[in-house]
Structure 1
Amino acid sequence: MGARKRTAISLYTGVGGLDFGFEAAGFDTVAAVELDAASCRAVRLNRPKWGLMEGDIHDITSERILATAGLEPGEADVLIGGPPCQPFSKSSYWVNGDALRLDDPRADTLTAYLRVLRDVRPKAFLLENVYGLVYKGKDEGLRHLLTGIEQINRETGTNYTVSWKMLNAAHYGVPQNRERVFLIGSRDGASFQFPAATHCSAEEHSLLDDREPYRTAWDAIGDLPRLPNEPSLEVGGKWGDLLPTIPEGQNYLWHTNRGGGAQLFGWRTRYWSFLLKLAKDQPSWTIQAQPGSAIGPFHWMNRKLSVQEMCRLQTFPDGLSFECGRTDVQRMLGNAVPSLLAEVLAREIRRQLLGDKKSLGALKLIAPVRHPVPAPERLARLPAKYKSLIADHADHPGEGRLQARKKQAKEAETLPLLPAAAE
């Protein structure tokens, strides 16, 4: 017999990225709360037994959540969720030092998560958020969460301790570079240790390294049709015809004075994802929730990614269906947590915090390694309509948003945590 099923209560469920991962690790989602109508339709279509409650979490009581789950306070194994991070100026009543009021109707999404945590009192919890949550000097959200958990411990007699870390999904076998912050806590005070990275770039890999090479876009989608019969995948607009002139793994920077193409743009004068194209032998870049017409990542066949391809790059289980337009599907998928990363963390929660020592076997959501990897696609010639843009364009004067973000995230790692918390 395999390891017994565990129970999960899910907040801000979205399309189910976290839940699919916990499902693969042997958890049953017994109650789920989601406001977005398109996400709710997808959950009902794909996982009708999840106990979905559609509506604003501020209008859904903790008592209703427990009743839907069929559980009493303290019985749930884990509470999971990724609260959308609202501007904290709207919650200035707690930023300015007022007492934290978990039942206040003005509460933000983080406070609503804390309210359910207080009332449900699960054995463990996981909270996911964007990397901006831990930026040094802009970390009000993280401090708010840590303060709230301290208050819950005082009010209820629990001993929740918290560990947090920013993780890149590619380091754990997801064929996509995607950075998110995770807070994981245990009710009995056990300290959670985040698992070490299991994958790395080909340049970092060596015979003495236990890590595997990154899973790649080809591993994820190489078995799918090169040109699916979907007219909606065509890239139009002003720049669509420029995409075939950019090599795999490159973006608009190819057409600058430091690239190998024509000088159509200044260095770093556009967003990184502008005309960004997948490379077969590398992980995908982050799937965007609301991309513009020229914002990638695009397929190496110079088209938008299909819904099935985006699901694969997010390591969702195969066979999902959607009853909505492509815009809604992309928004749902782009906002989701890669399910394989959730599976990895869920397994560690079972092992470290819930006392489950029985092996769960191989990871269920990791893509197979596909060999051989085909050669890059041939480039097209520069269309005549773009030649008038060739000029000596000025570079952007700054260091670049990517470098600044990484510097902020590195500084954030020095933030103090609750007593006994690690990472």
Structure 2
Amino acid sequence: MANALAAKNNLALSLFSGAGGMDVGVDSAGFRTICAVELDPHGAETLRRNANGKRVLQVDIRSLDIEQTGELLGIPAGGLALLHGGPPCQPFSQIGKREGTDDPRGGLAFQMVRFASALRPIAIIMEQVPQFLNHEVADILSDKLSRLGYELHMAILNAVNYHVPQNRKRAIIVGVPQGTRYTFPTRTHVWDMTVGDVLKDLPPAAAPPDPPAVANHVDITPPRDRERISYVLEGEWLSKSKAPPEIVQRLTPKDSTKFRRLDRGKPSLTLRCGETPYHPVENRYLTPREAARIQGFPDSHIFTGPIRRRTGIVPNLDQHRQVANAVPPPLARAVAQSVRTSLCL
């Protein structure tokens, strides 16, 4: 009875929700995410800003009593169609320390198991960095979910193959009932969108205190950074430029992803939390809205919180980091649609 109700209503619960990229994609595939759990205050505020009736819980997920949460949301065990989320990837990331379970955040992936055990969703979708699949945590996760009756399917998908103008490879883990035939979404092309395609119709970026014509399309690039950017040609990077030594400093030609200007005729390189690419032709960084378009967010999705000045540090997730951390909505939509197809939801 509960599973029939879950299949009928297609209710979903989002964990480690960030700014809501996976929520946007999953919901556009026909699910209805009724609650998102996110600890970061700026990420949680962004979720509230775009909630449309969705409940947002700003809390450390480890402190949640799942049965009480289910009662609060009106979800009985077996009444959830989909559990989805992207636990922190830093413990497994190639650019991080890769400490895995030695990093306290590494064990957060098992919160997906805890919620699955209590709520018994029909299916599970989890996103991680590709390196996660080579870590013992992936094997342990598979074993734990297998004991709950789920069969896990793991693959590395590139968002560029799913209508996203960005080369962004991510590990996607899908859990379906054992014995269910599941196939990951087939890529329909090598790539079909470029940075120029998604940026070309944006108006000029606003400089504070002027309000932007499009939400989050705000530029606060410091003057010193504009000078540095001016030496970089479209599609190239600072260490390859003819900038004077005091500008290049200790960079080497191998630093090809740092201080890079995007190319209008190609997809973007992977957006990252610590680095914001240069605009293809203007001497500035991408605005949060431009980055969001490259991730595949609709302009109606508003990001809240500070915009990080490149020469300073903002605690928690500023707008650029929220965007860079997100799952590209079109990729999430393709995976969620494949799950619905396999389960006839």
Flag whether TM exceeds 0.5 (same fold).
yes
Superposition pairs of residues 97-176 of structure 1, within 5 angstroms: 108-135=107-134, 139-150=135-146, 152-153=147-148, 158=149, 160-176=150-166
Residue 232 of structure 2 is aligned to residue 246 of structure 1: yes
Tell me the equivalent position of 1:302: 283
The one-letter code matched in structure 1 to 2:237 is N
The one-letter code matched in structure 1 to 2:299 is D
Contact kept? 2:87, 2:128, Cα under 8 Å? yes
Go from structure 1 to structure 2 and tell me whether the alpha carbon gap of 1:323 and 1:253 turns closer, same or farther (over 3 Å shift).
closer
Superposition pairs of residues 169-318 of structure 1, within 5 angstroms: 169-200=159-190, 213-225=191-203, 227-230=204-207, 233=219, 235-236=221-222, 240-255=226-241, 261=242, 268-269=252-253, 271-291=255-275, 296-318=277-299
Residue 16 of structure 2 is aligned to residue 32 of structure 1: no
Secondary structure of the 1:348 match is: helix
* Whole-angstrom CA distance in 2 between matches of 1:91 and 1:330: 24
Contact kept? 1:30, 1:68, Cα under 8 Å? no
Give CA-to-partner distance per residue, 1:269-305, whole Å, 9 cap, x none: 55332221111111112222233xxx52444312111
Runs of 4+ in 1 over 4 A off after TM superposition: 261-270
1:323 pairs, out of 304, 307, 312, with: 304
Secondary structure of the 1:132 match is: helix
Contact kept? 2:160, 2:168, Cα under 8 Å? yes
Structure number, greater radius of gyration? 1
The one-letter code matched in structure 2 to 1:241 is E
* Whole-angstrom CA distance in 2 between matches of 1:37 and 1:263: 41
Q: Shift of residue 239 of structure 1?
A: 5.5
1:23 pairs, out of 19, 23, 27, with: 27
Secondary structure of the 1:10 match is: strand
Cα root mean square deviation, aligned: 2.6
Go from structure 1 to structure 2 and tell me whether the alpha carbon gap of 1:91 and 1:274 turns closer, same or farther (over 3 Å shift).
closer
Secondary structure of the 2:336 match is: helix
Tell me the equivalent position of 2:75: 71
Secondary structure of the 1:230 match is: coil
Go from structure 1 to structure 2 and tell me whether the alpha carbon gap of 1:245 and 1:43 turns closer, same or farther (over 3 Å shift).
same
Q: Shift of residue 66 of structure 1?
A: 1.7
Give CA-to-partner distance per residue, 1:183-206, whole Å, 9 cap, x none: 001124313211222221xxxxxx
Superposition pairs of residues 397-408 of structure 1, within 5 angstroms: none
Contact kept? 1:82, 1:127, Cα under 8 Å? yes
The one-letter code matched in structure 2 to 1:275 is F
TM-score by length of 1: 0.67
Contact kept? 2:278, 2:284, Cα under 8 Å? no
Q: Shift of residue 314 of structure 1?
A: 1.3
Contact kept? 2:10, 2:31, Cα under 8 Å? yes
Go from structure 1 to structure 2 and tell me whether the alpha carbon gap of 1:91 and 1:217 turns closer, same or farther (over 3 Å shift).
closer
TM-score by length of 2: 0.82
Tell me the equivalent position of 2:54: 50
Secondary structure of the 1:189 match is: coil
Secondary structure of the 2:156 match is: strand
Contact kept? 2:113, 2:145, Cα under 8 Å? yes
The one-letter code matched in structure 1 to 2:176 is S
Tell me the equivalent position of 2:312: none
Q: Shift of residue 253 of structure 1?
A: 4.7
Q: Shift of residue 240 of structure 1?
A: 3.7
1:59 pairs, out of 59, 63, 69, with: 63
Q: Shift of residue 247 of structure 1?
A: 2.1
Pick which of 125-134 and 43-52 moved more.
Answer: 43-52
Number of residue pairs matched by the alignment: 310
Contact kept? 1:9, 1:31, Cα under 8 Å? yes
* Whole-angstrom CA distance in 1 between matches of 2:9 and 2:25: 14
Q: Shift of residue 108 of structure 1?
A: 2.0
Go from structure 1 to structure 2 and tell me whether the alpha carbon gap of 1:5 and 1:311 turns closer, same or farther (over 3 Å shift).
farther
Where structure 2 has 5 or more consecutive residues not aligned to the other structure, the ranges are: 1-6, 92-98, 209-217, 309-317
Residue 88 of structure 2 is aligned to residue 84 of structure 1: yes
Give CA-to-partner distance per residue, 1:363-403, whole Å, 9 cap, x none: xxxxxxxxxxxxxxxxxxxxxxxxxxxxxxxxxxxxxxxxx
